[in-house]
């Protein structure tokens, strides 16, 4: 792990993410890229109006000052940190930063959302998970020393998840964690018999060249099944693949990866399919 991106909005959750990133940077001698995205429109930034231009410069200077104060924390002392301010709140821009700096991971703080707010607004963490191509670690609590001993990876064991599985396995190996693979079996059109479930799982593991055990957990829904299984084995973190669906596709189909990241109290790592 060489470079870690931490998007911040100066909230308590951002501080949780920074402290988690600092813990990881200490373990793996990694560099931290702290990103704040301003909510300025293209019209404001490109305006030739003198008054508006002066207001924009004043706002950027004020944010730079607040940014500097926010990063002045005891747990960040001695770390290699690059502050980055982007004028637009475009989460896909994090991919450009990741590509430019060769980042391995995004660490994002979140408080999650529920109900209509989730449908119409969502959380910033959910948007980051949707747009960013590298793994995203979502945390909702303070982690002074971030450790993962038991790591759950849940998927439907279809071929599209092979790359995400390999990334999840590498993540577990990085932390020297026990990897718990689980298939969530639910009633309805997606129900599989025990025999069919194991046939799919075995074919997947053969293609992945992995000799690992997989649990089959029966529940009323996939998301609740993942959370219940993880709670049952006292997992430290959950790994999940995500399609990163956008627009109407996301509205009607959603993404289990995003929903788990949104609702889990445990740290969640998403791996883009």
Over 60: is that where the pLDDT of 44 sits?
no
Is residue 226 exposed (0-12), middle (13-18) or buried (19+ Cβ within 10 Å)? Answer: buried
- The tens digit of pLDDT for each residue in 58-107 reads 777 888 898 889 999 999 999 999 999 887 777 778 999 999 999 999 99
Residue 149: per-residue pLDDT: 98
What CATH class does 1-145 carry? alpha beta
What pLDDT is stored for residue 117 in this prediction? Answer: 42
Instruction: Find the range with the poorest average confidence among 52-56, 75-79, 102-106, 196-200.
Output: 52-56
Q: Which pLDDT tens digit goes with each residue over 134-187?
A: 999 999 999 999 999 999 999 999 999 999 999 999 999 999 999 999 999 999
| pLDDT at site 62 | 84
Mean pLDDT over all residues of the chain? 86
Q: What is the three-state SS of 183-250?
A: EEECCCCCCCCHHHHHHHHHHHHHHHCCCCCEEEEECCCHHHHHHHHHHHCCCCEEEEEECCCCHHHH
Would you say residue 263 has pLDDT above 90?
no
Q: Which two tokens stand for residue 129?
A: 């998970």
pLDDT over 80 at 128, yes or no: yes
Band of residue 248 on the pLDDT scale cut at 50, 70, 90: very low
User: Tokens representing 23?
Assistant: 């813990």
> How many of the other CB atoms lie within 10 Å of CB of 130?
23
Q: Do 1-145 and 147-273 agree at the fold level?
A: yes
Task: Please list the residues that pair with 84 across neighbouring strands.
Answer: 35
Please enumerate, as own/partner, the contacts of 156-163 that have beta carbons within 8 Å and a separation of 24 or more.
Answer: 156/183, 157/183, 157/200, 157/201, 157/204, 157/214, 158/200, 158/204, 159/204, 159/207, 160/241, 160/273, 161/204, 161/241, 161/273, 162/204, 162/207, 162/208, 163/271, 163/273
How confident is the model over 190-203, as a mean pLDDT?
Answer: 94
Band (pLDDT 50/70/90 cuts) for residue 51 is: low
What's the average model confidence in pLDDT over 21-49? 79
At 121 the pLDDT is: 37
Question: What's residue 145's pLDDT?
Answer: 94
Query: Is residue 27 predicted with pLDDT exceeding 90?
Result: yes
DSSP E strands: which ranges in 10-165?
31-37, 81-86, 105-109, 136-139, 150-154
When pLDDT is averaged across residues 27-53 and rounded to a whole number, the result is 73
Q: Among residues 58, 17, 269, which one has the least CA distance to residue 168?
A: 269
R_g over Cα of the chain: 20
CATH 3.40.50.970 fits 147-273, yes or no: no
How do the domains of the chain map onto residue ranges? 1-145, 147-273
Task: Spell out the residues 6+ positions from residue 156 whose beta carbon is closer than 8 angstroms to its own.
Answer: 183
Residue 41 predicted with pLDDT over 60? no
The answer on pLDDT for 53 being more than 60 is yes
Do strands 150-154 and 136-139 pair parallel, antiparallel, or not at all (unpaired)? unpaired
């Amino acid at each position: 792990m060489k470079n870690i991106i931490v998007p911040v909005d100066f909230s308590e959750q951002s501080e949780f993410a920074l402290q988690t990133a600092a813990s990881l940077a200490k373990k793996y001698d990694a560099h931290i890229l702290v990103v704040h995205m301003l909510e300025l429109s293209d019209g404001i930034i490109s305006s030739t109006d003198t008054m508006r231009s002066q207001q924009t410069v004043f706002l950027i200077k004020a944010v730079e000052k607040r940014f500097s104060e926010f990063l002045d924390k005891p747990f960040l002392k001695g770390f290699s940190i690059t502050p980055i301010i982007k004028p637009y709140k475009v989460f896909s821009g994090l991919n450009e930063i990741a590509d430019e700096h060769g980042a391995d991971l995004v660490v994002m703080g979140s408080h999650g959302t529920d109900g209509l707010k989730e449908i119409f607004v969502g959380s910033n963490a959910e948007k980051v998970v949707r747009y960013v191509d590298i793994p995203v670690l979502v945390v909702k609590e303070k982690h002074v020393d971030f450790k993962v001993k038991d790591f759950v990876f849940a998927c439907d064991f279809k071929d599209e998840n092979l790359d995400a599985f390999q990334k999840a396995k590498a993540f577990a190996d990085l932390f020297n964690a026990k990897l718990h693979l689980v298939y969530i079996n639910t009633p309805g059109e997606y129900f599989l018999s025990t025999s069919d479930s194991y046939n799919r799982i075995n074919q997947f593991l053969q293609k992945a060249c992995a000799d690992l055990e997989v649990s089959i957990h029966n529940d009323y829904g996939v998301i609740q099944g993942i959370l219940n299984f993880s709670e049952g084995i006292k997992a430290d973190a959950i790994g999940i693949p995500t399609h990163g669906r956008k627009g109407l596709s996301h509205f009607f189909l959603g993404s289990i990866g995003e929903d788990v990241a949104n609702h889990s109290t445990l740290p969640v790592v998403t791996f883009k399919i």
